[in-house]
Amino acid sequence: MHSLLRRTSISLVRHSHFHLRRQFKVYTNSRNIHAMGSAKDFADQSDINRMKTEADGSFKRADASFRNTIQKGGRFEPEKYRYHLYVSYACPWATRTLIVRKLKGLEEIIPVTVVSPHMGDSGWPFADVDAFPGADADPVEGARHVKDLYFRAQSDYSGRFTVPVLWDKTLHTIVNNESSEIIRIFNSAFDHLVPPEKAAIDIYPQELRAQIDEVNAWVYDTVNNGVYKSGFARTQTAYEAAVRPLFASLDRLEKMLEGKQYLIGDVLTEADIRLFVTIIRFDPVYVGHFKCNIRTIRGGYPAINKWMKTLYWTHPAFKDTTNFEHIKTHYYWSHPMVNPTRVVPVGPIPDIEPL
């Protein structure tokens, strides 16, 4: 049944869910989703708790699979309403794309759909499967989980079912699922379709590119991904090999931000955006859940804290795309290998301090 299913359309995928529901007893309520067995399941691909670590217990992030761009004359033309963005508010990588979408005035041109933060054994569910406040049903393809989109795009897809997903409604496929590339697409591909003041915003200016690339490289490895490497480590050695460089990089960032409003030059660049999405989650989640507790941001890094608070409280693109309810619920609920009780801590109070 499954090889047929994987070769056919999303309607069959939906039908098969229905089928599985009757045949194998699928329990669904707003907080808990459990499929009790299936003929062939994709849980090795969709269930983060079944994800394998390396032989030494360290976590290695797999590369994204769909890496197309949007450009005039290409397969994916920059057109109004042709593209759709799927995100989780919980996910730092997806939130990068939400921030840039808002900064560049693309909200009308590229609508967005938000998944539920409860990433379970079938991966990210939409609101018709798990009606969490702020989550949406999929209005485009009628997918019930993000994995349905991946199989719609490529019936033999064998990677992970990650967000963000930039979807093409014309060709019914994924344009790109790598946030660092999606934000560069958003930075320039639609400039002829937005007001001039939005087109003028450039988060990757030519003259700062070398510096931005240099900072992005170590911030990605030790900070953005460093928190995951700490939290998903299965051995003491692998954990310490991640958490110590993470805090060495925070010390370095603290020095870079002393007396400065932005990381590079005196303008907002993608380096700020890429760092912000990790720092805003740090005290509420990474300190506790991922054991990144050598220091907190609010207690140990005054310059980083001020930079974060200024971005959050003065730029709607940062505040309006931050949802602490989704962030905290997602991490503490979705990784029972890290937090088996799924209890979500109450603090810190407040999630972010006033300016």
Ligand X SMILES: N[C@@H](CCC(=O)N[C@@H](CS)C(=O)NCC(=O)O)C(=O)O
Per the annotation, binding residues for glutathione are 124, 160-163, 178-179
From 100, 128, 174, select the one nearest 114 (Cα to Cα). 128
Determine, following the binding rule CB under 6 A, whether residue 179 of this chain makes contact with ligand X. yes
Between 99 and 257, name the residue whose CB sits nearer to ligand X. Answer: 99
Binding site listing: 124, 160-163, 178-179
**176 near ligand X, judged by CB under 6 A:** no
Kindly tell me which residue out of 87, 91, 114, 189 binds ligand X, with binding defined by CB under 6 A. 91
Closest listed residue to residue 273, CA positions, set 321, 237, 240: 321
Q: Nearest approach, Cβ of 256 to ligand X (angstroms)?
A: 23
CB neighbour list of residue 345: distance below 8 Å, 6 or more residues apart: 288, 328, 332
Please, which residue, 51 or 256, has the CB nearer to ligand X? 51
β-bridge mates for residue 28, sequence order = 33
Nearest of 270, 324, 279 to residue 305 by alpha carbon? 279
Sheet holding 173-176, edge to edge: 112-114, 83-87, 165-168, 173-176
Closest distance of CB 84 from ligand X, Å = 16
Catalytic residue among 86, 91, 150, 332: 91
Q: Which of 42, 66, 83, 93 binds ligand X (CB under 6 A)?
A: 93
Q: To the nearest whole angstrom, how small is the minimum distance from the Cβ of residue 162 to ligand X?
A: 3
Residue 355: CB minimum distance to ligand X, A: 27
Decide if 142 contacts 59 (C-beta within 8 A): no
3-state SS, residue 110: coil
C-alpha span between 182 and 185 (Å, rounded): 5
Residue 178 lies near ligand X (rule: CB under 6 A): yes
Q: Kindly identify the residues of this chain, within the stretch 49-68, that bind ligand X according to CB under 6 A.
A: 64
Establish if 286 lies at the interface with ligand X (CB under 6 A): no
Side-chain half-sphere exposure of 298, counting CA atoms within 13 A: 15
Is 91 among the catalytic positions?
Answer: yes
Q: Is 48 in the site for ligand X (CB under 6 A)?
A: yes
Beta strands in the chain (DSSP E): 26-28, 33-35, 83-87, 112-114, 165-168, 173-176
Partners of 112 in the beta sheet? 85
Binding residues among 247-276 for ligand X as defined by CB under 6 A: none
> From the list 126, 161, 186, 331, which residue makes contact with ligand X (rule: CB under 6 A)?
161
CB 234 within 8 A of CB 240: no
Nearest to 274 by CA among 212, 231, 328: 212
Q: Does 160 bind ligand X (CB under 6 A)?
A: yes
Give CA–CA dist 116/328, Å, rounded. Answer: 12
166, 144, 155, 97 alpha-carbon torsion, rounded to 10°: 10
Count, residues near ligand X per rule CB under 6 A: 15
Q: How far is the CB of 223 from ligand X (least distance, A)?
A: 14
x-or-dash string of contact with ligand X, 97-136, rule CB under 6 A: --------------------------x-------------
Candidates 15-23, 158-166, 258-266, 298-306: pick the segment binding ligand X (CB under 6 A): 158-166
Binding of residue 284 to ligand X (CB under 6 A): no
Stretch that binds ligand X, among 174-182, 210-218, 247-255, 336-344 (CB under 6 A): 174-182
Q: Is residue 162 within the footprint of ligand X (CB under 6 A)?
A: yes
232 half-sphere exposure, CB direction, 13 A CA radius: 19
The least CB distance from residue 115 to ligand X, in Å, is 9
Residues with a catalytic annotation lie at 91, 228
Where does this chain bind ligand X (CB under 6 A)? 46, 48, 64, 91, 93, 123, 160-164, 177-180
